[in-house]
Structure 1
Amino acid sequence: VTAKRTVREFPRRTPVHPKLQTCSVDLHGKTRLEALSELERLLDRALLGGMDRLEIIHGLGTGALRDVTHDFLRASTHIRSFEVDMRNPGTTWAYL
């Protein structure tokens, strides 16, 4: 007598909030011009890679790199929104 085996399949659980894909750059020690160049490369890489958000580490200092970063993000048609990280004000998150 051969026993019949029953296989039950369960649907895979999908996360409620799918993980966002992130691209990151650290602008510490860069000049404004170097920072702009890095930001352009970062955005290109993110768009080509299908990323959802950018992590831009500009530091605190005088705020010059933060200002350049925010001006760049405001001018970009690819950026939906951006915000300063409340836990780390030296970092800005941008959403594509």
Structure 2
Amino acid sequence: MATNQDILYPGAIGKPLPLTGRLLQRYVDRLALAATSEPVVALALLDAFTLSKPMTDLARPGVVLAALRGPRRPAVAEPPLTTDELKRLS
């Protein structure tokens, strides 16, 4: 996953990603989005990034379905802080 990231930066020098690389990048982006509300995806990503489990676990049926489905909750517009927490920040 990390080897494809550098070419995405503006001004990066190198060949554009091949189709397989672009598809993989889209899937990883989708995994990251789904992980915001899907525990199975969040755990699979964490395990893969920490090398606790093989990267192939990101292709398990439950993870793939959750990634294709996307997050089940809308994105929050503001940080989910309580009134007391907000007071402490100011």
- TM-score, reference length from structure 2: 0.28
Structure with greater Cα Rg: 1
Structure number with the higher helix fraction is 2
- TM-score, reference length from structure 1: 0.26
Structure number with the higher strand fraction is 1
